[in-house]
């Protein structure tokens, strides 16, 4: 199962150092090739999202924007982790 596309969407706007307004993008997931054809794997759905997304060629790990590098994220916890239970 190889990744064919990264799925990204505009999640807001920001102003750069020169005063130009730019779009803020977030990675929502990937499209992978499977034996039954392409499959969409959504990893997140932003609040207020209008439903439109871009399919981009995957980037090499060293080409990822600063805010999206895997090393900047906290490790994911298992959904069955007993530490997260409220009782």
pLDDT at residue 23 is higher than 70: yes
pLDDT tier at 60, thresholds 50, 70, 90: confident
Average pLDDT over all residues of the chain: 84
pLDDT tier at 44, thresholds 50, 70, 90: very high
Domain assignment of residue 39, given as a range: 1-58
The answer to whether the beta carbons of residues 39 and 5 sit under 8 Å apart is: no
Ramachandran angles phi, psi of 56, nearest 5° = -115, 150
76 falls within a domain: no
User: For residue 7, is it left (φ>0), alpha (ψ between -120 and 50) or beta?
Assistant: beta
15 falls within a domain: yes
84 falls within a domain: no
pLDDT tier at 59, thresholds 50, 70, 90: confident
C-alpha 36/C-alpha 18 separation (Å) is 48
């Amino acid at each position: 199962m190889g990744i064919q596309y990264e799925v990204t969407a505009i999640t807001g706007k920001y102003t750069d150092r020169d005063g130009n307004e730019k779009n803020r993008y977030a990675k929502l997931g990937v499209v992978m090739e499977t034996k039954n054809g392409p499959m969409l794997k959504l990893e997140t759905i932003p609040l207020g999202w209008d439903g439109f997304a871009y399919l981009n060629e995957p980037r090499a790990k060293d080409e990822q924007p600063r805010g999206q590098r895997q090393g900047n994220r906290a490790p994911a916890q298992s959904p069955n982790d007993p530490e997260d239970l409220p009782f």
